[in-house]
């Protein structure tokens, strides 16, 4: 049985993991009878009110991620890449805020060292890496020098920043996905299309995960 790691960046698309994308990931993995384990980082941050966009109280990325997983999530330091066949990064701006600085600095962003090492490890072991929504930008920051091919849909401004890393950007519909077979990178736009319906987001993620599992 395949075993896949899922990296969450909190709970809520403006300051954490996009909930529909995360839940879609778990449903799609479950449909394929794939064993999975969730991980996150232990980092405090200022939460964002999803109605007003105001900063509010201080929260913790790991604790917030546990809201999605019903408490079944572990700190990143417990993740041993040798024990998993692939890794998946659902989207949400938590990826671009907590895992790297892409939200603020675009292609000039740095990546949290432990996240960078994690991605490099899976890539060096030739294990599939799935990235949804804004997460392909994170992959580009780490693996752009390998000329990886990714998609975030059709947002030209974000695509240009991704290509500045050395990565290729390929336009893609919300219900579809892009596979870089040489680097084993599988990406789908999800809610990079703001007007996307939940079933469309699920369809794209479901298809991408089937590809990830087949490639693992």
Query: What pLDDT does residue 1 have?
Result: 79
Whether residue 152 contacts residue 133, with contact meaning beta carbons closer than 8 Å, is answered with yes
Q: What percent of the chain has pLDDT over 70?
A: 100
- Give the mean pLDDT of 72-94: 97
Q: What is the CA radius of gyration of the chain?
A: 15
Sequence-distant (6+) residues with CB within 8 A of 70 are: none
Just list the catalytic residues.
133
Q: How confident is the model at residue 89 (pLDDT cuts 50, 70, 90)?
A: very high
Domains and CATH numbers, the chain: 3-215 (3.40.50.880)
Query: What pLDDT does residue 81 have?
Result: 97
Gap between the Cα atoms of 102 and 133, Å rounded: 13
Average pLDDT, the chain: 97
SS3 179: strand
Residue 181 scores a pLDDT above 90 = yes
- Give the mean pLDDT of 153-162: 97
Residue 82 scores a pLDDT above 90 = yes
Residue 194 scores a pLDDT above 90 = yes
Whether residue 169 contacts residue 163, with contact meaning beta carbons closer than 8 Å, is answered with yes
- Give the mean pLDDT of 190-201: 97
Over residues 38-70, the pLDDT tens digits come to: 999 999 999 999 999 899 999 999 999 999 999
Q: Which two tokens stand for residue 214?
A: 């087949």
Q: How many CA atoms lie within 13 A of 48 on its CB side?
A: 15
Q: How confident is the model at residue 183 (pLDDT cuts 50, 70, 90)?
A: very high
């Amino acid at each position: 049985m395949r075993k896949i790691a899922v990296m969450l960046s909190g709970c809520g698309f403006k300051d954490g993991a996009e909930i529909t994308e995360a839940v879609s990931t778990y449903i799609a993995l479950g449909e394929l009878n794939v064993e999975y384990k969730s991980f996150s980082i232990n980092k405090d941050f200022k939460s964002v009110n999803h109605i007003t966009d105001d900063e509010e109280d201080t929260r913790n990325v790991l604790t917030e991620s546990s809201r999605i997983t019903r408490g079944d999530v572990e700190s990143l330091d417990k993740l041993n890449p040798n024990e998993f066949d692939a890794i998946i990064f659902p989207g949400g701006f938590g990826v671009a805020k907590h895992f790297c600085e892409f939200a603020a600095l675009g292609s000039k962003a740095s990546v949290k060292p432990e996240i960078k090492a994690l991605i490099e490890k899976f890539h060096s072991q030739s294990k599939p890496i799935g990235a949804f929504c804004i997460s392909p930008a994170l992959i580009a920051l780490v693996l752009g020098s390998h000329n990886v091919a990714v998609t975030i849909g059709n947002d030209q401004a974000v695509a240009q920043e991704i290509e500045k890393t050395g990565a290729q950007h390929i336009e893609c519909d919300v219900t579809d996905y892009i596979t870089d077979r040489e680097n084993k990178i599988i990406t789908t736009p999800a809610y990079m299309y703001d007007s996307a319906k939940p079933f469309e987001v699920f369809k794209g993620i479901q298809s991408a995960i089937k590809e990830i599992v087949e490639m693992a």
